[in-house]
Structure 1
Amino acid sequence: MSHDIAYPVFRTPHPELALRTARRLMEFGRCESSEVAAYAELFSVAEVRRAAEALPEGWFRGASRRGEFEGIPFEEQPAFVFGVPAGDLPAGEAAFEGRLPVEWGTSDLPIGSVEDAFTAAIGPNAGAINWHSLCWPDAPEAGFHGDSKHAEVTLLFNTRSRALHEPADDHTLLVHVRSAVFDGVQTREPYAHWLAAQVGLTVIGPGQED
Structure 2
Amino acid sequence: MGNSDAAAVLTTSDLDGAMRAVRTLLDVADTADGEVDFEAVVRSPDVLGRVGQVLPGLVWWSMAGKADGSSEAGDDPADCLPIRVFDWCRPLESAEPFIAALGPDPAAVRWDLAGWPEAPEAGLERVSQKYAYLTLSVNSRDLYQDDLSPDHTVHVHVRNAVHDTARIRWLADRVGGRFTGRVESAPL
TM-score by length of 1: 0.75
* Pairs within 5 Å for 1:117-196: 117-148=97-128, 149-179=130-160, 186-196=162-172
> 1:117 and 1:124 mapped to 2: Cα distance?
14
1-structure distance, mates of 2:28, 2:154 = 14
Q: Map 1:47-86; keep pairs closer than 5 Å.
A: 47-53=47-53, 55-63=54-62, 68=67, 80-82=70-72
Q: Secondary structure at the match of 2:103?
A: coil
Identity %: 28
The answer to whether the Cα contact below 8 Å between 1:60 and 1:102 also exists between their aligned partners in 2 is no
Q: 2:178 aligns to what SS in structure 1?
A: coil
**Separation of aligned partners in 2, 1:142 and 1:32:** 24
Distance 1:50 1:199 in 2: 29
Q: CA RMSD, aligned part only?
A: 2.7
Given candidates 90, 107, 127, the residue that maps to 2:76 is 90
**Structure 1 position 141, deviation (Å):** 4.0
- Offset of residue 120 of structure 1: 1.5
Runs of 4+ with >6 A deviation = none
**Which range moves more in the overlay, 114-123 or 40-49?**
40-49
Higher-Rg structure is 1
**Matched pairs, number:** 185
**Distance (whole Å) between structure 2 residues aligned to residue 166 and residue 3 of structure 1:** 20
For structure 2, the residue ranges without an aligned partner over 5 or more in a row are: none
Deviations 1:101-123 (A, max 9, x none): 212232212222x1221121111
2:184 is the counterpart of 1:208: yes
TM-score (norm 2): 0.83
Counterpart Cα distance in 1 of 2:127 and 2:73: 33
Give the Cα separation in 2 of the matches to 1:117 and 1:21: 17
Instruction: Name the CA shift for 1:83/1:190 in 2 (closer, same or farther; >3 Å).
Output: farther
Distance 1:159-1:49 versus aligned 2 partners, 3 A rule: same
Mapped partners of 1:188, 1:11: distance in 2: 20
SS of equivalent to 2:7 = strand
Deviation at 1:136, TM superposition (A): 0.7
When residues 198 and 90 of structure 1 are mapped into structure 2, their CA distance, relative to the original with a 3 A threshold, is: closer
Secondary structure at the aligned position of 1:159 is classed as coil
SS in 2 for 1:167: coil
